[in-house]
Structure 1
Amino acid sequence: MPTPLPPRGRGTAANPHNRFTAQRSLVEDDGWYQEVPVTQGTEVRIETAKSIITRNSSPDLPFDRTINPYRGCEHGCIYCFARPSHAYWDMSPGLDFETRLIAKSNAVALLEQQLSKRGYQVAPINLGSNTDPYQPIEREHKITRGVLQVLLRYRHPVTIVTKGSLILRDLDLLSELASLNLVSVMISLTTLDDELKRTLEPRAAAPKARLRAIRVMRDAGVPVGVLCAPMIPMINDMEMESLLREAKAAGALSANYILLRLPLEVAPLFEEWLHQHYPQRAEHVLSLIRQSRGGALYDSRFGARFRGEGVFADLLEQRFKAGLRRFGLSRRGEHSLDCTAFCPPGGQMSLL
């Protein structure tokens, strides 16, 4: 049976079983295979979450707490490292991850409760560490905007990572946060090639729209950088210097990059995509990934998972550092936000 094409606007047609289920299903060809992909609608379930701030102790991350307003992501990026998390909700990391989404309807109220607790220690909260806070369903649910309104009211620092141009809707909040040194934004920019973007990140903003978002935010005084992620050997790594150049021209102040990560169910999904869209170079791409991951497609070790090891990974790091120098960009993490202004409404600010 030929591999079906993804439904229009989706990253994959595959819906592999999640690793926690005891049952398996097998697809059989009934002779009615259609080459023209059908559309696949988006289903949004409402969740009443028990907590909203997630803590981490990863030495690879510049933050120790995050907020993810949504589970799953409609952008449908085939490489997304967060896909395996959908298995925890008894859904597939494949097409389910893009089409069966969960919105945390009480996120704003929960955040206020947690920030108001006695003894809360302030540090920047990151939005977008797992799934994109500005994916298309945010237009309707506006959870991310509600979170930003709370953070502004409490004078709490926040960092944002997104590839959604919808972030410009909240420019009023972002510019006010920026005036208080309470926000920094990283725009994820994977490629400048519209056709590659279409298959790699089907429902994410176009490259020009992301560059425009950088430009508009910088004009509004919002500190913004670019995250070249992921860098995929022989697919988009040759664009690294171009990405840095265009981001700098748009007003980016800083940059960082991440080498492609393929944990758990992401690896077979990416391999299928690779053989479907780049069959002649697929094995070469996979070989370079394995060379950078100790012979495997993924290495989860802290310190190695974002950068990789070996000749290709080392060369990529050297090219990135040279690009920073050439275009006058700093590395992400050098911009520090103000953690001293935090004050819950009705509370008393410190005199010192």
Structure 2
Amino acid sequence: MSLAPNLPFDLPPSDPRQRLRARGAAANPAGRFEPYARLVEPDGWEIAEEEKLLRTEVSLEHPKTIITRNTSPDVAFDRSVNPYRGCEHGCVYCYARPTHGYLGLSAGLDFETRIVAKPEAPELLARELSKRGYAVAPLAIGTATDPYQPIEAERGIMRGLLEVLSAFNHPLCLTTRGAGVLRDLDLLSSMARRGLVHLGISLTTLDEELARKMEPRAPTPQTRLRMIREAARAGIPVRVMAAPVIPGLTDHALEAILTEARRAGAKAAHMIPLRLPHEVAPLFADWLARHYPLRAEKVLNAVAAFRGGKLNDPRFGTRMEGEGTEAELLARRFEVSCRRLSLAADLPALDCHRFGVPPRPGEQLELF
């Protein structure tokens, strides 16, 4: 079965006046909600124009609330916070890319160059956690875009969120591939001693050349192993996230990834096969055609084998695991490796009983 002839490789070319450096996408197709698409076409005059480096732009959002609720049966949390929209890491396969369509922006270059920050996120979180009747449950951060992408070093929004969660004794499930998390080991370690935090570190490959092409502004695989090592030494429970596993490209290294993560100190592991929702499918196909043209058809056919012959299957119950013989074999390999390495399927339950609204300055403490 060959899927390549039916794949949408005809993405609009990037603006020839823009110079791309360390970007995952090479095009900026219109979002799926946009009625018009913009194409840059030569006008025939052949006037040389100065090429400009495409740089990251940051804008601010001032939402009224910060906690997002969900009822998905495919995830283990019902609430999350995202301090940023878009992600400069530029991972070409990122399932969150289509969320930029809600802003009227592209899932391509816009997603990794036009970042939206929410500077009031810590204050909003404290306000929502202080509401009468708030029912505590683990809060997830890092479920859409990475809270420790490069601009966090300047903005410090994630640091503020951690300070709020620590003060409220609120449990947290944090997922990242950003080395900035090492800055906050003091807060995370303190929360870990109270049973309040799980840390997931995403590790997709050990091949640094592949990682640089596929995740151009994310830390190297060795840096991510160091993140696991230092977090584990700080007493923080760490789960390695082998996600996504890309059939035909990274799946052969699954056992090696789990082994190195276990040596670094990971206590649990999680695995998700690649899924390519909405605009991500053509962007990923275009990336394969540019970087691995001789393997593109094989990889895409392997992805489709996990998804009933399609590049994406959005159905609950299958979208995170895939289905079919190949998906079952991958899941079996993962289970065998985890058993051999003593990697748990999950980390110990977080403590929800410590939660409480801290006293405001000047308030009298309760006696009982």
Q: Work out whether the TM-score is over 0.5.
A: yes
Following the alignment from structure 1 to structure 2, what is the Cα–Cα distance between the partners of residues 43 and 3?
Answer: 21
Matches within 5 A, 1:18-29: 18-29=31-42
1:272-315 deviations in whole A, cap 9, x for unaligned? 00111111111111111111111111000111001101111111
Contact 1:343 1:349 in 2 (8 A): no
Conserved 8 A contact 2:243-2:272:
yes
Partner of 2:313: 299
The correspondence for 1:76, drawn from 83, 87, 90, is 90
Q: Give the Cα separation in 2 of the matches to 1:309 and 1:288.
A: 12
In the alignment, structure 1 segments of 5+ residues that lack a partner are: none
1:192 match: 206
Counterpart residue number, 1:137: 151
Match of 2:5 in 1: none
Q: Distance in 2 between matches of 1:197 and 1:295?
A: 27
1:101 aligns with 2:102: no
Q: In the alignment, which of 271, 291, 304 is matched to residue 257 of structure 1?
A: 271
1:84 positional shift = 0.5
Structure-1 separation of matches of 2:111 and 2:138: 28
Distance, in Å, in 2 between the alignment partners of 1:127 and 1:208 is 23
**1:19-71 per-position Cα deviation (integer Å, ceiling 9, x unaligned):** 1122222232468799xx96321100011012111011111111111010000
Farther-moved stretch of structure 1 (193-202 vs 17-26): 17-26
Letter of the 1:207 partner, please give it: P
Tell me the distance in 2 between the aligned counterparts of 1:335 and 1:40.
44
TM-score w.r.t. structure 1 length? 0.95
Between the aligned partners of 2:38 and 2:217, the Cα distance in structure 1 is 28
* Aligned match of 1:319: 333
Matched position secondary structure for 1:304: coil
CA 1:349–1:122 in structure 2 vs 1: closer, same or farther (change >3 Å)? farther
CA distance in 2, matches of 1:274, 1:204: 19
* One-letter amino acid of the structure 2 residue matched with residue 294 of structure 1: G
Preserved contact between residue 66 and residue 121 of structure 2 (Cα < 8 Å)? yes
Aligned-residue Cα RMSD (Å) equals 2.1
Check whether the contact 1:254–1:330 (CA below 8 A) recurs between aligned residues: yes
Pairwise mapping of residues 154-169 of structure 1 onto structure 2 (< 5 A)? 154-169=168-183
Check whether the contact 2:13–2:40 (CA below 8 A) recurs between aligned residues. Answer: no
1:343 matched to 2:356? The reply is yes
Name which of structure 1's ranges 90-99 and 23-32 shifts more when overlaid on structure 2.
23-32
Among candidates 138, 142, 149, match of residue 124 of structure 1: 138
Q: Which amino acid aligns with 1:139?
A: A
**Aligned equivalents of 2:249, 2:305: Cα separation in 1:** 16
Give the residue type in structure 1 aligned to 2:28.
N
Q: In structure 1, what residue type is equivalent to 2:37?
A: R
Q: Helix, strand or coil: the match of 1:330?
A: coil
Give the residue type in structure 2 aligned to 1:190: T
Q: Return the alpha-carbon distance in structure 1 between the equivalents of residues 156 and 345 of structure 2.
A: 31
- TM-fit CA distance, 1:112: 0.7
Identity of aligned residues (%): 53
TM-score w.r.t. length of structure 2? 0.91
Corresponding residue of 2:68: 54
Specify the code of the residue in structure 2 equivalent to 1:234.
Answer: G
- How far apart in 2 are the matches of 1:187 and 1:50? 30
Provide structure 2 residue ranges, at least 5 long, that are not aligned to the other structure: 1-9
